[in-house]
Amino acid sequence: MEFGKEDYKGGAGGLRSGESRCAAVLIEFAVSPMTSLSSHFPQRATTWKLRTRTLALGPRPLLMGIVNATPDSFSDGGQFPEPQAAIKHGLDLVAQGADILDVGGESTRPYSMPVDAALELRRVRPVIAGLKRQTSLPISIDTMKAAVAKATLDEGVEIINDITGLADPQMIAVALAGGAGVCAMHMQGTPQTMQDDPRYGDVVREVFDYLRGRRDALVAAGISRERIALDIGIGFGKTHQHNVDLLAACHKFHELSCPLIAGPSRKGFIAKVLRDKEAPRDPATAGVACALAAQGVQIIRVHDVRGVRQALLLFEALGGIDGQAARLAE
């Protein structure tokens, strides 16, 4: 039953104002041990159809490694200014265990300045070409521009990852013509305005309703549901509390029957929870990833693939979803 019907009681199971949403999720899972993902989340998507292949979505989340070919992304902007550096970084992520590479040529951090399609393509094209020559992993293009998506699909990209939720009809047309997998994300406002003063009556309900609307609009436009993934948009027009509430309630979004993508990596809410702006955020990101795995989230977008993968392997070995410890090789 989807949100908006009589069983919906609020962002994290009907808590009273001020109670911890994270606590609600932990309590729910503690008193109802999960025997399997399918039994606990019967509407959870188990495949994602891309341009030339279909990804199986098992109990361990797939990791989407971030390859920013930008000078100003919020975490690693400027670290890989030349195509060869970005290609090497992408191949390092492959070696660390990435399942997907997400290449972007325009920063969408708060208050970032937009760039035109020509500059964005100059940044991403050589990176995509270099990666395609050296890895068979599916490549995603992180873009809001239909022209960028079309050009990179022609060069072998499998996924369009659009922070605007494919709001541009031309982007939908490109996705349809290219047969791409798509990721539609929620964002309140634009990168230039989204963190001015984000407000929601009920952030979980409102993001759910938006993503349901985007899913339905894309299906109505001809994109099959099997090709659509949805992203709750952590850090895009949300306060730290909004981010925590959404991450704790990710399991509710399985009712949309599309793969879920979450991007908590190195985001500001981590520093808020840790009460330390200077603390390294990769170890905490790994902790968030385990909480998402417990909720059946299918794909996690991260910078530190190795650390998150290792945390997920240990989560799985120590009982993970089904409560069964791994049998270790002698």
User: What is the reported pLDDT for 70?
Assistant: 85
Please tell me what DSSP assigns to residue 254: G
> What does each of the 330 residues of the chain score in pLDDT, given as a tens digit?
444 443 333 433 333 333 344 444 443 443 344 457 888 899 999 999 999 999 999 999 999 999 999 875 445 445 667 899 999 999 999 999 999 999 999 988 777 688 999 999 999 999 999 999 999 999 999 999 999 999 999 999 999 999 999 999 999 999 999 999 999 999 987 777 768 788 999 999 999 999 999 999 999 999 999 999 999 999 999 999 999 999 999 999 999 999 999 999 999 999 999 999 999 999 999 999 999 999 999 999 999 999 999 999 999 999 998 888 999 988
| pLDDT confidence of residue 28 | 44
Query: In this structure, how many other beta carbons lie within 10 angstroms of the beta carbon of residue 216?
Result: 13
- Cβ-count burial 177-205 (b if 16+ within 10 Å, e if not): ebebbbbbbbbbebbeebbeebebeebbb
pLDDT recorded at residue 144: 95
Q: What does the alpha-carbon distance between residue 49 and residue 158 come to, in Å, rounded to a whole number?
A: 9
The residues that are catalytic are 267, 301
State the pLDDT at residue 322.
Answer: 82
pLDDT at 10: 43
List domains and CATH numbers for the chain: 35-322 (3.20.20.20)
